[in-house]
């Protein structure tokens, strides 16, 4: 694996535009190095981006994602206040995830019901009658 990446490499890898990546930087979710004025992304930056996109797939707003991302570093913080704050935030996120988990279970069950009904009706139509036979 490479040590560093360009913006377009990351864009291709994750299927997003460079505009989006710069936007994330604007919103303080990334802070790549500069070589001249070109952005250089480390493997750590790449990981942050990967985590960011995971958060997006869960429908989280960018500022929440930013907070979670910052917890990774805050876990090493020196100040008690900061550590305790992070702990609380972790709990919040955990609860959100639990709720989403429940929502997923429920949705899955519903989809299963729908699909079953569909398949039964399809079988009824295509199987038994001659209505549409050539």
Partner DNA sequence: CAGTATATTGACGTTTACGTAAACGTCAAT
Partner DNA sequence: ATTGACGTTTACGTAAACGTCAATATACTG
Residues lying near DNA in the complex (CB under 7 A): 6-9, 16-20, 22-24, 27, 36-39, 56, 61-63
Structure tokens at 64: 């929440």
**Minimum CB separation from its own copies for residue 105, in Å?**
9
Binding partner of 63, given DNA, its own copies, none, CB within 5-8 angstroms per partner class: DNA
Binding partner of 28, given its own copies, DNA, none, CB within 5-8 angstroms per partner class: none
Distance CA 104, CA 116 (A): 18
- Residue 69: φ, ψ to 5°: -55, -40
Residue whose token pair is 């604007």? 26
Q: Which is nearer to its own copies, 37 or 126 (CB)?
A: 126
Angle at 133 between CA 132 and CA 134, to 5 degrees: 115
Q: What is the CA radius of gyration of the chain?
A: 23
For the chain, give the number of residues.
Answer: 134
Using CB under 8 A as the criterion, which residues of the chain lie in contact with its own copies when the complex forms? Answer: 51, 54-55, 57-60, 71-72, 74-77, 80, 83-84, 86-87, 90, 93-94, 97, 99-101, 103-104, 106-108, 110-111, 113-115, 117-119, 121-122, 125-126, 132
């Amino acid at each position: 694996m490479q040590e560093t990446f360009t913006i377009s490499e990351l864009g291709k890898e994750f299927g997003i535009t460079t505009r989006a990546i710069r936007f994330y930087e604007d919103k303080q979710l990334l802070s790549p190095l500069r070589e001249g004025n070109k952005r250089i992304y480390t493997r750590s930056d790449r990981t942050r981006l990967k985590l960011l996109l995971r958060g997006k797939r869960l429908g989280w707003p960018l500022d929440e994602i930013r907070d979670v991302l910052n917890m990774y570093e805050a876990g090493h913080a020196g100040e008690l206040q900061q550590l305790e704050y992070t702990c609380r935030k972790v709990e919040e996120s955990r609860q959100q995830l639990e709720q989403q988990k429940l929502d997923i279970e429920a949705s899955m069950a519903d989809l299963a019901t729908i699909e079953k009904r569909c398949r039964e009706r399809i079988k009824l139509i295509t199987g038994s009658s001659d209505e549409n036979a050539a």
